[in-house]
Amino acid sequence: MLSLSFENVQKRFDSTIVVRDLSLEIGAGELFFLLGPSGCGKTTCLRMVAGFYRPDGGQLRFGDRVINAVPPHKRNTGMVFQNYALWPHLNVRGNVEYGLKVRKVPTAERERRVKEALEMVRLGHLADRYPSQMSGGQQQRVALARALVVRPDVLLLDEPLSNLDAQLRLEMRAEIKRLHREQQTTALYVTHDQEEALSIADRVAILRDGDLMQVGAPRDLYRAPNSRFVAEFIGETNFLPGQIKAINADSLDVQTAVGPLRSARPTGNWAIDQPVWCSIRPESWHLLTEGQKAQNEFSATLEDAMYLGQAEQLIIRLGGGREATTDETWRTIKVAVANPDARPPAIGGAVRVGVDVEDVVVLAE
């Protein structure tokens, strides 16, 4: 297993900077995700690692080896493409052994490794089928076997699940996680799908317009985003604008238009009257029953509800404070209720909602 590192890597196309001074350390055996919207530079990073693009500045390393000028066929990477990229005239066995043939692996060793790889992705019984005779999920597993059979130093995955339907994506997420756990290959995975990243990554780097915004474990990024962009991109959230009114040892007091709000104090430099955004996830809000208290609570009106079986999504308009104006869309929040009651809620009725101090994330404007 090898580590993979970006050291102040830059890439531009003509006058457009696509990747700007990117520094990342990806540990040996780590399943690492590059996540971001279209055009953020994540696929360009992957192609630089594969050798399809050459950095305009900085260094790429496999372990201690600088690979900037190393051609693709000498990097020992395995690539899983978005569109599978299987040879239509070769059967499953032929597709998987192709890379071994190019590497001139002896026949007996080649056959043994192909058999192992197909068993690994649970397709040993379909070795004689052709890609056109297989489902999308099966084709993607063939592509995974083809990439893993060469025993790559680094496995590269370019949005490999984007062409699959919702159920197949869930199945393949579990499959990729299982394969990585068994093989422990260093893997770099590119996607714009937040759920994909949250569900299977060891760590995630979030990119925006060629800049690195934040790196961390999925749980840390979700619970403690460092910017409004990260909070919005990594999952659904509600933003309440306010100003800091008190800075305590372990908390911040924020005044919002709908009342005071206390947050567990995040790291950083804060100032009295500093304008901030308070990020609160839908599942962090609680509907309060009569007599029930919360660390932060607000009066509100229930505007709509969407029943989803295992959960219910409520649309609630926060009240109190000054009169709402048309530009105060932040007053309308989403609240996720797990295991909802059998009776539907009363649309238009008054409700009270609460949120714990630990679930309020204060972000600088």
Whether 76 contacts 153, CB under 8 Å: yes
- One DSSP character per residue, 17-35 reads EEEEEEEEEE-TT-EEEEE
Task: Report the DSSP beta bridge partners of residue 57.
Answer: 10
Whether 30 contacts 218, CB under 8 Å: no
Closest by CA to 76, choosing from 58, 112, 100, is 100
pLDDT of residue 327: 61
Task: Report the DSSP beta bridge partners of residue 253.
Answer: 246, 262
pLDDT of residue 242: 95
Q: Report the chain (365 residues): mean pLDDT per 10 consecutive residues.
A: 95 95 97 95 96 96 96 93 90 95 93 93 93 92 93 94 85 90 94 93 97 97 95 94 94 94 89 96 93 92 92 88 59 92 86 95 91
Kindly report the pTM of this predicted structure. 0.90
Please measure the distance between the N-terminal and C-terminal CA atoms of the chain and give it in whole angstroms. Answer: 42
Q: Is the dihedral of CA 346, 348, 349, 350 positive or negative?
A: positive
Where are the domain boundaries for CATH 3.40.50.300 in the chain? Answer: 4-231
CATH number assigned to the domain covering 4-231: 3.40.50.300
Task: Report the DSSP beta bridge partners of residue 138.
Answer: none
- Residue 87 to residue 32: CA distance in whole angstroms: 28
Determine how many CB atoms are found less than 10 A away from the CB of residue 231: 24
Tokens 């933003």 belong to 239
Read off the DSSP letter of residue 122.
T
- Residue 146 to residue 132: CA distance in whole angstroms: 17
pLDDT of residue 206: 97
Where are the domain boundaries for CATH 2.40.50.140 in the chain? Answer: 236-362
Q: Which two tokens stand for residue 156?
A: 């590269």
φ and ψ of 259, to 5 deg: 130, 175
236-362 classified as CATH 2.40.50.140:
yes
